[in-house]
Amino acid sequence: MPEELRNIKDRIKLRRHGPAVQMDVMEMSSGIILTKKLYSVDMVPTIQTEGADGEDEYYVAKPIKGRRARARASLNSWRQSFSLEEKALLSTLDKDNGCRKQVLRILKVMRNRESWLTSYHFKAALLYMAVELEDPEDWRDEHIGRR
């Protein structure tokens, strides 16, 4: 058996974060497992289906939140994921040297102060706003307060 696979059960630590499972792989040297993390992988249950337009659609498990959720702590709801589309949009969002990404950072600070808001809410709002305000002039740094 290769050295990397020896003691594999001791090298891998699994932790649940809502519907996700985080897998930490610990470093190993001379057969001794070290406490230093080599890398981490987050795994989220995902369902891939074909949409009405023939394009792939992805659904991810999300924990049910709220008062009733405590009684059903292990239940998840499924929502459509737009993370691939969001990633593509965000990568080119400020190609005109705008302030959209700065606005998103500010919104995330607000999210940290209001626990019921999620980054999903803010990314969606920003992307909708970016579609509405197409003129690069609207996204110059001096307009960040209005955005």
**Angle of helix 100-113 relative to helix 119-132, nearest 10 degrees?**
150
Coil, strand or helix: which one is 60? Answer: strand
* Per-residue model confidence (pLDDT) at position 67: 52
* Per-residue model confidence (pLDDT) at position 59: 93
Characterise 18 by phi-psi region: left (phi > 0), alpha (psi -120 to 50), beta (else): left
Distances (CA, A) of 88 to 2, 59, 67, 114, 143: 39, 18, 36, 27, 24
Q: In whole angstroms, what is the distance from residue 56 CA to residue 124 CA?
A: 20
Q: Which residue has the higher pLDDT, 43 or 75?
A: 43
* Per-residue model confidence (pLDDT) at position 72: 52
Give the model's confidence band at 71: pLDDT under 50 very low, under 70 low, under 90 confident, else very high. low
Q: Which residue has the higher pLDDT, 53 or 99?
A: 53
* Per-residue model confidence (pLDDT) at position 47: 93
Which of 74, 16, 15 has its CA nearest to residue 26? Answer: 15
**Are the C-beta atoms of 28 and 39 separated by less than 8 Å?**
no
Reply yes or no on whether the pLDDT at 70 is more than 60: no
Residues 119-144 have pLDDT tens digits of 777 788 888 888 888 888 888 888 88
Radius of gyration in angstroms for the set of CA atoms belonging to the chain, rounded to a whole number: 21
Residues 14-68 have pLDDT tens digits of 888 777 889 998 887 766 666 788 889 989 889 999 999 999 999 998 877 665 5
